[in-house]
Amino acid sequence: MHKTMRWYSRALAAIAITGGLLLSIPQTASAQRFRGRVVVVEPAPFFDPFFPYAYGYPYGPYYAAHNYGYVKLDTHHRHATVYIDGGYAAKTDKTKKFALRPGNYNIELRDSDGRTFFQERVAVMIGQTTKVDVPS
């Protein structure tokens, strides 16, 4: 019993030390802070053998629908990039539906040269999908 408890306490101490060391690593240039709104595309699944939930939190798959609204882009431009409030969001060939917090957003579509060919201000409401038709 004592050997098992001693082993668990050493393992817990090693995990705590490793976590403290990982938190003390300074941020790199790619992880600089962005001043503006945060764009959430979708939660990414990850595998953790010690955590039983697929997305890292114990909420059901419909939890995000109660806190976010969606913007769906209908466009035929395959290689355009989407910018929301001036920040890069995604490419149109990868995703066409975005989960955003409620509020007003400026959505821009830019071509491969960085020129804006479509711009619109949309209002996002909780639990609803705002459809944006982009002329071709």
Is the pLDDT higher at 3 or at 79?
Answer: 79
- Report if residue 17 sits inside a domain: no
pLDDT, one tens digit per residue, over 79-91 is 899 999 989 988 8
First to last CA, the chain: 72
Which CATH number goes with the domain that contains 124?
A: 2.60.40.1120
Q: How confident is the model at residue 67 (pLDDT cuts 50, 70, 90)?
A: confident
With a CB cutoff of 8 Å and minimum separation 6, the contacts of 7 are none
Q: How confident is the model at residue 106 (pLDDT cuts 50, 70, 90)?
A: very high
Report the pLDDT value the prediction gives residue 12, as an integer from 0 to 100: 79
Tell me which residue range forms the domain holding 72: 54-133
- Report if residue 101 sits inside a domain: yes
How many domains, the chain? 1
Q: Residue holding tokens 């705002």?
A: 130
- Report if residue 94 sits inside a domain: yes
- Report if residue 75 sits inside a domain: yes
Residue 57 pLDDT greater than 90, yes or no: no
